């Protein structure tokens, strides 16, 4: 599903950097701030972001993420993305 959201072939290997590069500039900055806050404070977040699935086509996607903790340490973020109808 993530491949479809970002307009990538389903068999493509997608790194975090590949996906983040497709966020609109303002959306990318907001997501990175919330991601850092989520990790630092062990808090989840929800954010609507603009992504570019093709050079001239953007979509809005809702991110919902929560930290994965082992003891007091955040070891990752878990969540999902869904296209916002519009």
pTM of the predicted structure, to 2 decimals:
0.84
| Domains of the chain, first to last | 2-83 (3.30.450.20)
Contact (CB, 8 A) for 16 and 2: no
Contact (CB, 8 A) for 83 and 60: yes
Chain segment 40-81, per-residue pLDDT in tens: 999 999 999 999 987 778 999 999 999 999 999 999 999 999
Which is more confidently placed, 3 or 70? 70
- Specify the pLDDT at position 19: 87
- Specify the pLDDT at position 5: 82
Cα separation, 29 vs 38, in Å, equals 14
């Amino acid at each position: 599903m993530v491949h479809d959201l970002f307009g990538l072939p389903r068999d493509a290997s997608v790194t975090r950097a590949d996906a983040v590069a497709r966020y609109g500039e303002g959306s990318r900055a907001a997501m990175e701030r919330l991601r850092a806050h989520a990790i630092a404070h062990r808090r989840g977040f929800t954010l609507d972001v603009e992504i570019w699935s093709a050079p001239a086509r953007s979509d809005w996607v809702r991110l919902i993420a929560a930290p994965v903790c082992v003891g007091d340490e955040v070891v990752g973020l878990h969540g999902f993305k869904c296209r916002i109808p519009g």
